[in-house]
Amino acid sequence: MKIFSVSELTSAIKAVLEPNFRTILVRGEISNFKIQSSGHLYFILKDAGSQISAVLFKGNAAQLPRMPKEGDQVIVRGEISLYAPRGQYQIVIRELQFLGLGELLLKLHQLKDLLQSRGWFDPARKRPLPKLPKRIGVVTSPTGAVIQDILHILTRRFAGFHVILNPVKVQGEGAAQEIAQAICDFNRYNLADVLIVGRGGGSIEDLWAFNEEIVAKAIFESKIPVISAVGHETDFTIADWVADVRAPTPSAAAEIAIAEKSHLLQYLHTAAHQCRTRVSQQIAQCRQRIAALQKHPLLSSPYGMIEQAMQRVDDYQRWLDRLHPKLKIQQYQERLDRIKNHLKALHPQNILNKGYAILFSENEGSIILSANELKPNQKFHALLHDGKVVASVNEVLENGSRTALF
């Protein structure tokens, strides 16, 4: 047989005890009540036959409507814990209701456990809220402040949607049935894109209609997403756990219903601001570039940027003019005229006009180019500008001798 140390045994008992008593409801009378300087409450819960130590820590004690006292009959919810230093088991209290309210608290937790076992609280089955709802259904009292708060939030923030109120009693006899029927009617006639179900704050008795199974069933079976907004932020009901979204207040429910639209509009406002800023920056940059260009020397006069191009055009024009066929023909004509004039100047006839004559051999008719080609008594022809002379050679003289006689 194994021998345990005290700590080992205490740990073993703790491991067996605590998991089996995680969430329990206990009814009893408060005794030996003490408030520590830390703010934690210590006391004993007892009945006629037994007692158990209890502790209510400061955070949970802050939720109490009043401070407990000796002799109070209460119902508490909590879990069993083994306090190892003293080897003592105790109940760590999470909620405390004074007797009278304790009966309802017991009923509430029994229904909560039942519905949780059915999977009605499962986050996986919860429906997402529509991003841009156009029809918002409200199930609440027509005369309370809730509908006014919801309308104030919605109309102040946005337009372009419809609010449809299905008026119901929110407490008292028949309230749960009316609430459930209103939720069913919204679904039957497909009247809304999202539902807000709720009422203002109150005691557990005032909120009890939203703890009824018939309301929980209507919310669970709704095809339209449901936002529960029952009581104040610290109030929780069965409707809150079954609903797709729990809002701490009715006003917050209105905010949640249009949250996506709010985010979208905020995004659009931000984008518009960024666009305006960007366009302003672009305009400023363009103005700076224009100002710089206006100061550029090329833009100081209308011809600044085109004057060189205009000169190049003139150069091209002159070059084309020189290549024009008419000009070429004219140039060739002038050259031809000069050649003709030159040829005319070299024409023998022009030489003859100056008093010269050309000698031709009588027999051969060839020009006589040298005196050595002539002999005395040889006949020849002399061509003058106005006629021809037939003559004969009397004498041929050397260069430097006297002129020959014809």
Please list, in sequence order, all residues whose beta carbon lies within 8 angstroms of the beta carbon of residue 85, skipping any fewer than 6 positions away.
none
Are residues 81 and 191 located together in one domain of the fold? no
Q: What would the pLDDT profile of 344-396 be if each residue is shown by its tens digit?
A: 777 777 778 878 888 888 776 788 888 888 888 888 888 888 888 888 888 88
What's the chain look like in SS3? Answer: CCCCCHHHHHHHHHHHHHHHHCCEEEEEEEEEEEECCCCCEEEEEECCCCEEEEEECHHHHCCCCCCCCCCCEEEEEEEEEEEHHHCEEEEEEEEEEECCHHHHHHHHHHHHHHHHHHCCCCHHHCCCCCCCCCEEEEEECCCCHHHHHHHHHHHHHCCCCEEEEEECCCCCCCHHHHHHHHHHHHHHCCCCCEEEEEECCCCCCCCHHHHCHHHHHHHHHCCCCEEEEECCCCCCCHHHHHCCEECCCHHHHHHHHCHHHHHHHHHHHHHHHHHHHHHHHHHHHHHHHHHHHHCCHHHCCCCCCCHHHHHHHHHHHHHHHHCCHHHHHHHHHHHHHHHHHHHHHHCHHHHHHCCCCEEEECCCCCECCCHHHCCCCCEEEEEECCEEEEEECCCCCCCCCCCCCC
Of 65 and 364, more confident:
65
- Cβ(81)–Cβ(44) below 8 Å: no
Mean pLDDT for 70-88 is: 88
Burial category of 262 from C-beta neighbours within 10 Å (exposed 0-12, middle 13-18, buried 19 and up): middle
- Are 142 and 230 members of one domain? yes
C-beta separation of 225 from 129 below 8 A = yes
Q: What is the phi/psi pair of residue 66, to 5°?
A: -155, 165
Considering the domain boundaries, does residue 203 fall inside one? yes
12 shares its domain with 94: yes
Position 68 in a domain: yes
Residue 166's pLDDT is 96
Number of structural domains, the chain?
3
Give the pLDDT mean for 141-158. 87
194 is a domain residue: yes
Q: Report CA 93 to chain centroid distance, whole Å.
A: 50
Question: Do both 61 and 141 map to the same domain?
Answer: no
Contact 60, 97 (CB under 8 A): no
Of 342 and 79, the structure prediction assigns the larger pLDDT to 79
In the numeric block, which tokens belong to residue 353? 């006009």
Its pTM stands at 0.49
- pLDDT (tens digit per residue) in 311-327: 787 777 877 777 777 77
295 within domain boundaries: no
Do residue 172 and residue 66 come from a single domain? Answer: no
Residue 74 sits in a domain whose CATH number is: 2.40.50.140
In the predicted model, what is the mean pLDDT of residues 195-208? 88
Residues 137 and 224 in one domain: yes
Q: What would the two tokens of residue 103 be?
A: 């009966």
The parent domain of residue 87 ranges over 6-99
362 vs 135: which has the higher pLDDT: 135
Q: Which of 223, 257, 291 delimits the end of a domain?
A: 257
For residues 86 and 142, membership in a common domain is answered with no
Residue 388 lies in a domain: yes
The predicted pLDDT at position 193 comes to 96
Where does a domain end: 238, 257, 276?
257
219-274 pLDDT per residue, tens: 999 999 999 999 877 778 999 999 999 999 898 999 888 876 666 677 788 888 89
* Residues 6 or more apart in contact with residue 166 via CB below 8 angstroms: 137, 138, 139, 182, 185, 186
Residue-level pLDDT at 55? 95
Dihedral sign (CA 75, 80, 85, 88): positive
Say if residue 198 is in the same domain as residue 152: yes
Q: What is the pLDDT of residues 88-121, one digit of tens each?
A: 899 999 999 887 655 677 788 889 999 999 999 9
Query: Of 203, 236, 257, which marks where a domain is finished?
Result: 257
In a domain, 46, yes or no: yes
* Residue 21, in any domain of the structure: yes
For residue 133, give Cα distances in angstroms to 223, 269, 299, 373: 15, 20, 59, 136
Residue 405 in any domain: the answer is no
Which pair of tokens denotes residue 46? Answer: 């007892």
Tokens describing residue 281: 């920056």
Residue 10 has what pLDDT? Answer: 84
